[in-house]
Amino acid sequence: MTGRPLLPPVEYAAANAEVRAVYDEIMALRGTDWVNDFWKVLAHDPATLRRTWDSVRQVMAPGALDPLTKEMLYIAVSITNGCAYCINSHTAAARAKGLTDAQLGELIAVVGMANETNALATAWQVPVDERFEGGGRE
Amino acid sequence: MTGRPLLPPVEYAAANAEVRAVYDEIMALRGTDWVNDFWKVLAHDPATLRRTWDSVRQVMAPGALDPLTKEMLYIAVSITNGCAYCINSHTAAARAKGLTDAQLGELIAVVGMANETNALATAWQVPVDERFEGGGRE
Amino acid sequence: MTGRPLLPPVEYAAANAEVRAVYDEIMALRGTDWVNDFWKVLAHDPATLRRTWDSVRQVMAPGALDPLTKEMLYIAVSITNGCAYCINSHTAAARAKGLTDAQLGELIAVVGMANETNALATAWQVPVDERFEGGGRE
Amino acid sequence: MTGRPLLPPVEYAAANAEVRAVYDEIMALRGTDWVNDFWKVLAHDPATLRRTWDSVRQVMAPGALDPLTKEMLYIAVSITNGCAYCINSHTAAARAKGLTDAQLGELIAVVGMANETNALATAWQVPVDERFEGGGRE
Amino acid sequence: MTGRPLLPPVEYAAANAEVRAVYDEIMALRGTDWVNDFWKVLAHDPATLRRTWDSVRQVMAPGALDPLTKEMLYIAVSITNGCAYCINSHTAAARAKGLTDAQLGELIAVVGMANETNALATAWQVPVDERFEGGGRE
Amino acid sequence: MTGRPLLPPVEYAAANAEVRAVYDEIMALRGTDWVNDFWKVLAHDPATLRRTWDSVRQVMAPGALDPLTKEMLYIAVSITNGCAYCINSHTAAARAKGLTDAQLGELIAVVGMANETNALATAWQVPVDERFEGGGRE
């Protein structure tokens, strides 16, 4: 990745009301006065900015799973896709929610192992065992 | 995937002592009398069977993360890699450890969202914010 | 992929009001009396069903790009991710919007070539030319 | 990606006749006096340079799809594969063919959404609806 | 994958002269009277059929690497991409060129391990050591 | 990728006995007095460091396949996954084992082609020919 995104970040001072509203919500939810560049670049497409922010907020809210578990799942996907931005930003978010170095190490060990056995199962072309169809549901 | 793996499963009766030892450990740890086909196909390469089983057992053991969280991370990776065998087998394992349908739904929603924002960050080529470098470590 | 999803499709008769509302919108927009299984399985997680449907509808609406171009982009991504469900369903959608076999053939040829040169650029570890940084923006 | 490719670019002055012929064709087709590093590194393998250039030229020529649509498909694949070189170079090429920022924004939104629903369909292991088999062909 | 491709295979009797010429070359090179469905489906786009066949033949010919090594590399890529068609067809090709079950087992073990350590290096975001830049070239 | 890993490399002087033992084995096997950063970062999780080193050493040892072939397979996977660290480090390892530039060029050409035909087979959704099922085994 080069040092320049496809379009430059839209700073608050230059943003329109629609974009500023999202920035305000991001800062309020996080209790900071700072917005990261992912959102500032996405701001060139205000409809996508709004929709993505609303979606992330909904998906990452506490529910049947707690927010730290959700951040860990996010990191696992980001590693597997090789998204450096997402690995760094979500590790930072997870640490802010209490992720320890020991937990991070185990998370990465699981992700590594899963990538290996995914490859092994695919390589050997193992059909799904009858008992596992539907993820083992009855 | 076709219905036939690259080599047929090695059944217990046909397995050598090295392979049987692994099968015995799998059944003992799980408290069942059944071994799934992933291991039975891997048995054509006994060294890989032994090493993979030992590695999975080590990685998935309780530690800084609990076993159910680890299964969820495994599922997240398997979805992102598109490994049907692994999605089904690890969902079955997670359900056996207590995963509810509501948790499964939220897990999948996070994985879906992560795949979307991974693509957005990559697409716009957003450089990592200075504050997020090293995953936000000091 | 096996013949069974992780949870069974939720049929209209068994769906709650929130889910039925989405099904109704899908059928109305498409002018059919039929809803495909993607949505019926997603219905186990009604919040994700609603959010995903709203998002897809927004993203795929005519704008700076026409709907057929958008379907073609969807197919290109689905091929690269190896999602059989998505390749088949979006090819069907694209054909319904006028995609010809000749266009499909060229689309696939471009996707194939892009996958090859992506691999070549990555393999040789070619740094981005200065003129191309920021996608060539000034 | 580091700043150094696996082998250094082959400059025109140092290139043999076979390689120079490809460089000449690239510059003539593009109406420039400049060749980007992708081709200059590939020049270490002249047969692959010639074949790849001929293939790209054939695939990207106007046909049932116009050249800008083809560039957009190229970008969609490059994003999904996470190839920074290709995202930047093909965005530059698309802009030279008239891609607007609004079109770029919608392209990326579609690619993001497709990556999300690809993951959702895979996660839930939804079998292809009978009506969609063969991409809906009769 | 469903049982139906996006367009049906073009049988020899129904093929035009351009397509038949490729089929004839495939059968002659392989010493068989049979053409596999990959080529028969690709035949709907004769220019891509001709170009792809010529390219594969060039790339897979003996050179600095022998044909069996090339088939093994093909299988390694196909596993990593999760392409069932390609895993099965290139394993069949490799076996016809002498691949033993022991070699297949080791190939798969390497591919599995590489997928694991790829994930670990990406997860930890390890920068390339100075000595390894340019793949260790001087 | 940024210049900072998620945790800093653990230098020999700061390492505990368990980690030093692995470093010693790495240096002894390679006949150098230097350990690359992959292992030094992994050292934050000593159990994973030990297990991964033992696994890599086992998998890459000479067997039915020679070590250079195994390195080439590793590179092929690393390219397909887009892991810059792994491409550079394993190309360096392969060169140390005798890989020539001509072999590297052909390796990359095969990997490029495989990525293209993987995409074509997936795009057209070609079912596996009956003769290729099980990778052509009898």
Residue of A nearest to C126 (CA): A1
Task: Give the C-alpha distances (Å, rounded to integers) separating E104 from B42, D102, E56.
Answer: 11, 50, 22
What's the distance, CA A26 to chain centroid?
15
> Looking at residue A3, what is its pLDDT?
79
Spatial distance between the Cα atoms of A133 and A124, rounded to a whole number of angstroms: 18
A91 in contact with chain F, both atoms CB, cutoff 8 A = yes
> Looking at residue E2, what is its pLDDT?
54
Confidence of residue D138 (pLDDT cuts 50, 70, 90): confident
SS3 D23: helix
Find where tokens 């700076």 sit.
C64
What pLDDT digit, counting tens, does each position of E35-64 carry? 999 999 999 999 999 999 999 999 999 999
> Looking at residue F3, what is its pLDDT?
79
Q: Which chain F residues are closer than 8 Å to D83 by Cβ?
A: 82
Out of F82, F104, F106, the one facing D81 most closely (by C-beta) is: F82
Residue E1 has pLDDT above 80, yes or no: no
Q: How many CA atoms lie within 13 A of B24 on its CB side?
A: 8
What pLDDT digit, counting tens, does each position of C58-70 carry? 999 999 999 999 9
E6/D51 touch (CB, cutoff 8 Å), yes or no = no
> Looking at residue B1, what is its pLDDT?
47
E136 in contact with chain A, both atoms CB, cutoff 8 A = no
B110 in contact with chain D, both atoms CB, cutoff 8 A = no
Residue B53 has pLDDT above 50, yes or no: yes
- Sorted by sequence, the CB contacts under 8 Å of residue D42 that are 6+ apart come out as C120, C124, D48, D49, D52
Spatial distance between the Cα atoms of A122 and D12, rounded to a whole number of angstroms: 44
B13 in contact with chain E, both atoms CB, cutoff 8 A = no
Residue C56 has pLDDT above 50, yes or no: yes
Residue C98 has pLDDT above 90, yes or no: yes
Q: How many angstroms separate the CA of residue C134 from the nearest CA in chain A?
A: 4
Spatial distance between the Cα atoms of E6 and E2, rounded to a whole number of angstroms: 10
F58 in contact with chain C, both atoms CB, cutoff 8 A = no
Q: Which residue blocks in chain D are alpha helix, DSSP H?
A: 17-30, 37-42, 46-60, 67-81, 84-96, 101-124
Residue A94 has pLDDT above 90, yes or no: yes
What pLDDT digit, counting tens, does each position of D86-104 carry? 999 999 999 999 999 999 9
How many residues can be counted in chain F?
Answer: 138
A119 in contact with chain E, both atoms CB, cutoff 8 A = yes
Q: Which chain E residues are closer than 8 Å to F136 by Cβ?
A: 88, 91-93, 95-96
**Which chains touch D (3+ CB pairs under 8 A)?**
A, B, C, E, F
Residue A2 has pLDDT above 70, yes or no: no
pTM above 0.90, yes or no: yes
Q: Does residue F89 contact residue E48 with C-beta atoms inside 8 Å? A: no
Name the average pLDDT for chain D.
97
Span F64-92, mean pLDDT? 98
Spatial distance between the Cα atoms of B67 and B59, rounded to a whole number of angstroms: 10
What percentage of chain A has pLDDT greater than the value 70? 99
Q: How many angstroms separate the CA of residue E100 from the nearest CA in chain C?
A: 28
F7 in contact with chain B, both atoms CB, cutoff 8 A = yes
Angle, helices A67-81 vs E101-124, to 10°: value is 120
The candidate with the shortest Cα–Cα distance to D87, out of C111, A6, A82, is A6
> Looking at residue C138, what is its pLDDT?
79
Task: Give the C-alpha distances (Å, rounded to integers) separating F107 from B107, B109, E62.
Answer: 39, 39, 12
Residue of F nearest to C117 (CA): F112
E119/A112 touch (CB, cutoff 8 Å), yes or no = yes
Confidence of residue E93 (pLDDT cuts 50, 70, 90): very high
What percentage of chain E has pLDDT greater than the value 70? 99
What pLDDT digit, counting tens, does each position of E9-20 carry? 999 999 999 999
> Looking at residue B2, what is its pLDDT?
53
Residue D9 has pLDDT above 70, yes or no: yes
Q: Which chain B residues are closer than 8 Å to F133 by Cβ?
A: 2-4
Residue A31 has pLDDT above 80, yes or no: yes
Q: How many CB atoms lie within 10 A of CB B101?
A: 14
> Looking at residue E138, what is its pLDDT?
79
Look up residue D37 and give its two tokens: 């590093």
Span F63-88, mean pLDDT? 98
**Which ipTM score applies to this complex?**
0.97
Residue C90 has pLDDT above 90, yes or no: yes
Span A30-45, mean pLDDT? 96
Span E123-133, mean pLDDT? 97
Spatial distance between the Cα atoms of F75 and F81, rounded to a whole number of angstroms: 10
- Sorted by sequence, the CB contacts under 8 Å of residue F74 that are 6+ apart come out as E110, E113, E114, F60, F86, F90, F94
